[in-house]
A and B are shown apart, each in its own frame.
Chain A
C-alpha cells in the first residue's frame, strides 16, 4: 500500500481523534465523580456546535470567541441540570444507576427536541478555515488541525486544573472514594455539581471544534454519544490517559475503514469496536463501573 496514503489517513484520523478525545474527557469527568453515564452528552456537544454555526452565519462570530461563550453557557446549564434533577437520584447505588440512565436518556431526547426547535433540523457546518496546507505528499486540513490543537490545549488545561487546584483535588478525591472525601471535609454535593457542569462545558467546547470538521444537525447527537463512549470503553472509565489512546484508535478506525471498506462500515466502526471491547474485556470495565 502507498505509504503517502497511509500517512494521509493517519493524519486525518488522528486529527479527528483529538476532538473525540475532548468530548470523551468531559464524559469521563462526570463519570469519575458521579458514577453517572450521561447519555445526553452528545446533545450538549451538538447544541454547542449548532450554536456556533448559527452565530457564524449571523455575525461571522469567530469560533474562538464563541467557544468560551458556549463553555460558560453549558457550565451553567450543567449545574442547573444537576441541581434540578440528577441530585434527586435515589440513595442506593443500584437503583441510582438505573434512574440516572433513564434520566439522561430522557434528557437527551429533551435536548434533541429543544435543538430542533431552536436551530431547526437543518444540517449545518461552519465555512471557517476550509483550506488545507500541503506538507510534502500530505494535505493537512486547516480546520482539523485547529480543532486538534484547541482540543489539546483544553485537555492540558483540564489536566492542570485536576492536578493543581483545590477543586481538582476534591474532584479526584471524590472520584476515588466518596466516603473518604466526605471524611476529609470535601463538600461532595458541590463537587458533583461542579463536575457535571465542567463535563458539560467540555462537551460544549468539543462541539464548537467538531463543527469545524463535521456537518451536523440536532439528530446526530446520539452518534457523538456513542463514539465518545466507544473512546471511553477502549481507554477505560476514569482513565484520562487511556481516553487519548481510545480516541486515537476510534479516529484511525473511522478514517481507515472509510477508505478500505465503505463509508457505511466507517459509520458503524465506533459501535462495533465499542461492543467488541465491552465483550472482550467486560471484567476490567465491570470492575470500575460496578458498585
Chain B
C-alpha cells in the first residue's frame, strides 16, 4: 500500500505538487487524471523514487520510500515511462529478459526464463519475440515494454501515459492486460492517463489533480460526474452511463 504524506515538489520557485496527502488502494487500477501541468507525472515519478520530493514523504507499507535501496525497490515497484530516446537494438525477447535484471543481474535462472515466457504469452508477443524493437510499430513497442515491466513481477506497477500515441486497438489491449494483471494476479497498477474514457471504463479508483493539488479522490463512479469533470478541465461534459460502461462526451456541448 502506498501512502503519500504532505508531499511538495517545486522546480526552482515554481510549485508543481502542493501538499498532497492520500492513500492509494491496494489491488486494482488507479488512474491519475487531470489537465496538463497538474503534476500527475511528477507525483508518479516521486512514487517511483525517480524524483526527490521537496518536502513530505511517501511510504510503501509504512516504510519510507527514501529509506529503501534502489535495488530493493526494483523488487517491489516497477516503473514504465515513455521512452522516446530508447535506441538500443534489442529483440523483444531480449528486452523482456531485462525485466529480470533486478533478480538475476544477468544470469538467468530457469525461474527467470519461465517468467519471461509467461510475460510473452500474457501480452501475446510470440509472433514478434525475435524482432528488433526498432522494426516494430509504436503499439507493438509499447506492448514489449509493458511485458518487460510485467516480468519484473512486482506487486506495484507505475505507468506514465502508457496509451500515448497508440491506436484504439492497442490502447484497449493494454488496458485489458492491466485489468487482468489486477484481477488474476492481484497486482496494483497506478497510471497517468489522459483519455478520460479509458480512465472511466477501466479503473477502479481515480485520483484527479489540478494545478498541483488533489482535487478528487474516490471510486470511478464517484469521481466521474459531469460537475467534477467540468471543475477539473474547465469544459462542459455529458456523462452517459449504461450497463456496458460509461461515456464522457465533451464534444460540441
Answer yes or no: do A and B interact: no
